């Protein structure tokens, strides 16, 4: 049995656990590991491919995964497998509080500072957001078909993968719908100044499906304490 080598400087991160999670499902070659990351994990935990490979080497040095050299014909390939020690730390991680919800969405930053640019610039940003969402929805449909036809790499995990793809599709439809109505709103503006637009902004706030405090308060709203939980790297 492989021994886990403890080093106080080798702290496990969410990236560590994401790699271990992939290898807990089955052994993967370097190519397969990268492909699965692109298909699933990069949308909820975006990291450069080079960082993933560095993490694989680090986990191997810690004794959490093993590295095996195989041959397909005369072509060599490297296959990674999780060790029992790796499974133990992965199970322990599952018993810890999850990091708070966060979103990496550059378009929202551009929307916040839209008045510093032009109407054409923010419209182009929103058009790209909508195009990206629709492209990803088509990809989600292809993944759906792959599972329905029984040819997915992780077909035996369909009961879990269906729940994950449901999340992605629901989120993408929300983004697509938001981009569509935001485009329609801004296209009706003459410019990006606030002139004559704030009353409409209050109407949009009024229609938001979010619970509001029962009584009046002068306090500035603060994010929930749950958002203060530590985020891993």
Does 51 share its domain with 119?
no
* Last-in-domain residue among 62, 88, 114: 88
| Residue owning tokens 């370097």 | 30
- The pLDDT of residue 41 is 66
Residues of the chain with pLDDT under 50: 1-2, 8-9
Q: Which domain holds residue 187?
A: 106-204
- The pLDDT of residue 75 is 84
- The pLDDT of residue 29 is 83
Does 72 share its domain with 126?
no
* Last-in-domain residue among 88, 115, 142: 88
- The pLDDT of residue 1 is 45
Q: What is the DSSP letter of 219?
A: S
pLDDT 10s digits, 187-203 = 999 999 999 999 999 99
| 29 occurs within a structural domain | yes
Tokens at 72, concatenated: 């397909």
Does 81 share its domain with 26?
yes
- The pLDDT of residue 151 is 94
- The pLDDT of residue 7 is 52
CA distance 178 to 190: 21
- The pLDDT of residue 9 is 44
Cα separations in angstroms, 130 against 140, 172, 193: 15, 9, 24
Three-state DSSP class for residue 80: strand
| 119 occurs within a structural domain | yes
Does 83 share its domain with 119?
no
| 9 occurs within a structural domain | no
Q: How many CA atoms lie within 13 A of 216 on its CB side?
A: 1
CB 107 within 8 A of CB 129: yes
Indicate the pTM of the whole model: 0.80
Three-state DSSP class for residue 65: strand
Does 33 share its domain with 74?
yes
What is the number of structural domains in the chain?
Answer: 2
Does 78 share its domain with 110?
no
Does 135 share its domain with 61?
no
């Amino acid at each position: 049995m492989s021994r886990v080598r403890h080093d106080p400087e080798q702290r496990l991160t969410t990236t560590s656990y994401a790699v271990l999670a992939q290898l807990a499902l089955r052994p993967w070659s370097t190519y397969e590991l990268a492909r699965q990351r692109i298909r699933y994990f990069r949308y909820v935990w975006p990291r450069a491919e080079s960082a993933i490979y560095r993490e694989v080497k680090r986990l191997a040095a810690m004794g959490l995964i093993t590295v095996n050299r195989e041959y397909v014909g005369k072509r060599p390939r490297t296959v990674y497998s999780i060790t029992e020690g790796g499974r133990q730390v992965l199970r322990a991680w599952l018993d810890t509080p999850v990091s708070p919800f966060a979103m990496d969405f550059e378009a929202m930053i551009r929307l916040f500072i839209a008045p510093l640019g032009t109407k054409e610039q923010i419209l182009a940003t929103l058009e790209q957001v909508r195009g990206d969402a629709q492209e990803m929805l088509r990809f989600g449909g292809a993944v759906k078909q792959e599972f329905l036809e029984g040819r997915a790499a992780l077909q035996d995990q369909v009961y879990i993968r269906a729940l994950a793809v449901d999340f992605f599709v629901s989120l993408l439809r929300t983004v697509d719908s938001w981009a569509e109505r935001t485009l329609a709103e801004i296209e009706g503006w003459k410019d990006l100044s606030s002139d004559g637009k704030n009353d409409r902004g209050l109407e949009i706030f009024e229609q938001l499906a979010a619970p509001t405090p029962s009584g009046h308060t002068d306090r500035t709203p603060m994010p929930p304490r749950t958002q203060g939980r530590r985020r891993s790297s």
